[in-house]
Amino acid sequence: MSGLAQRFSGWIGSLAKPAGDVLPVRLGATRRAATGSIPTRELGFDQALVWVTVALLAWGLVMVYSASIAMPENPRFAKYTHTYFLTRHVLWLAMSFVAALLAFQVPVATWEKSARGLFVLSLILLAAVLIPHVGKVVYGARRWIALGPLSFQPSELAKFTVLLYAADYMVRKMDVKERFFRAVLPMGAAVAVIGVLLLLEPDMGAFMVISVIAMGILFLGGVNARMFFLIAAVLLVAFGLMIATSEFRRERIFAYLDPWSEKNALAKGYQLTHSLIAIGRGEIFGVGLGGSVEKLHWLPEAHTDFLLAVIGEEFGLVGVVCVICLFFWLTRRMMHIGRQAIALDRVFAGLAAQGVGIWMGFQAFINIGVNLGALPTKGLTLPLMSYGGSAILVNLVALAVVLRIDHENRLLMHGGRV
């Protein structure tokens, strides 16, 4: 009798537990068995993630207009109207939203099956950029393919396809991940091929981001720690040699170390010094929206790589901290969605979601560090905010995939099928 009483008290105790302590799959299965269907609200996705993304996009749209409105007064941009960049940015946002909606409809299993094909497609596009009359040259770099009035940057697509390929690769190599030559070397070769194509453009910034994405997924996928640190050491040596053998990159490093010197202030350190001046002018609360002086032909690329400097000048320290907090939350949430998927034995989905988190977080970290003078100048945009159509298009597609992963997680946790 005492055993029956213990069972009864244990059952009552389980009912008294908070909902978070109950296994979600069992809870969902019970509800489905009782009602015959899954409640509509449980079939949704992370709405907070959507609203944070919308907030970054909307703020970025306002800042792109603010940073570019005076550009036509510069003789170099005299043929543009004051709303030229705003109009194009809105056009890319509209196309990106449509692409994201379509991407969300694609099951994660389809992305997994298509990972290798998409990776090969990105390699073809990266090679096509280097073909004369196909690749578009801007400021001495051949990184874009002209599509009528718009331009597409294949390196942005490569970031997305590499994370899909790396996630798929780790699933396929799960049984040999302790063996260096069978587990890591093929992935390293794939990244090396992309690296060669990117350095021929040249685009060392994109190569850095892709390398970090691949390394992060290998680490999260369970690669042996010794192999991981070996890969990290090889990459550090490789990047060090790239800098040492390139006079242009060496000058950037020296300018970063001493931007205010007479030699650097009007040369390689020009952008950095004016970025620091802009942020310094903003102080705590900024000079007000539209009140930036540095965007008036002093700070180059104010609407792209150095958008954060304009935010710092117009919204002050408060604005910069808000941007950092939003990206920190965004990254943390995507990593959490990835952990949920892995806990549900969906390794590809989990690694893909975490790969997007690594991508967004690392690129935002680099851009913010460059604008604040904490890192050497590197041509990387601020995700979701800077002007750059192909970047926003691929960013939103990647976020749509993360939302799809979260949607499927919720289905599984409530007894559904994907």
| pLDDT over 90, % of the chain | 55
Sign of CA dihedral 90, 93, 95, 98: negative
User: Predicted confidence band at 178 (pLDDT cuts at 50, 70, 90)?
Assistant: low
Give the model confidence (pLDDT) of 159-168 as tens digits: 999 999 999 9
Q: Model pTM? A: 0.86
- Pairing assessment for the beta strands 135-138 and 141-147 based on DSSP bridges: antiparallel
> What pLDDT is stored for residue 31 in this prediction?
42
Taking the CA of residue 232 as centre, how many other CA atoms within 13 Å lie in the half-sphere pointing to its CB?
13
Say how far apart CA 303 and CA 311 lie, in whole Å: 10
Which pair of structure tokens corresponds to residue 162? 């590499």
- What are the residue boundaries of the structural domains of the chain, listed by start? 22-105+257-418, 107-245
Distances from the Cα of 361 to the Cαs of 128, 372, 409, in angstroms? 29, 16, 22
Give the model confidence (pLDDT) of 47-58 as tens digits: 999 999 999 999
> What pLDDT is stored for residue 19 in this prediction?
41
Q: Are 383 and 364 in contact (CB under 8 A)?
A: yes
Distance of CA 357 to the CA centre of its chain: 7
176, pLDDT greater than 80:
no
Strand order, beta sheet including 135-138: 135-138, 141-147, 150-152
Say how far apart CA 207 and CA 143 lie, in whole Å: 13
Distances from the Cα of 115 to the Cαs of 161, 192, 396, in angstroms? 7, 18, 18
Per DSSP, the residues of 350-378 read HHHHHHHHHHHHHHHHHHHHHHTTSS---
> What pLDDT is stored for residue 223 in this prediction?
76
CB count within 10 Å of CB 39 equals 12
Instruction: Write 188-193 long-range contacts (CB < 8 A, 24+).
Output: 188/231, 188/234, 190/119, 190/162, 190/165, 191/162, 193/123
